[in-house]
Amino acid sequence: MNVQNAAKYVGISVNALYVWRHRRQGRTRCRMGPGGREMYRRDLLDAWLREQQQADSRSNPALDPLNKAPQ
């Protein structure tokens, strides 16, 4: 999918994708065709979203500090 569709799919702005690309963060993209259009694969975006969800303490109970026993 193109940059606009990928941003919409992930729920962020196109500008955020460009910033992530510049910082070498986020999901990798590939260039296609003679003009070098940036394209994103849906399966890689889905995998990246799952990784982000697992790294977030609000959606991963194992990382929630409130679930740990007091020391």
pLDDT of residue 32: 73
Which residue range(s) make up the domain with 50?
Answer: 3-60
**Model pLDDT, residue 18:** 85
Q: Is residue 66 part of a domain?
A: no
* Per-residue pLDDT tens digits of the chain, which is 71 residues long: 888 999 999 898 999 888 887 887 766 667 776 777 788 889 988 888 888 777 766 666 666 666 677 77
**Is 26 among the domain residues?**
yes
Q: How many angstroms separate the CA atoms of 43 and 59, rounded?
A: 21
In a domain, 33, yes or no: yes
**Cα–Cα distance measured from residue 41 to residue 45, given in angstroms and rounded to the nearest whole number:** 6
What pLDDT is attached to residue 25? Answer: 72
Residues 24, 50: Cα–Cα separation, whole Å: 19
pTM, full prediction:
0.63
Task: Specify the pLDDT at position 17.
Answer: 85
User: What's the number of domains the chain is made of?
Assistant: 1
In a domain, 70, yes or no: no
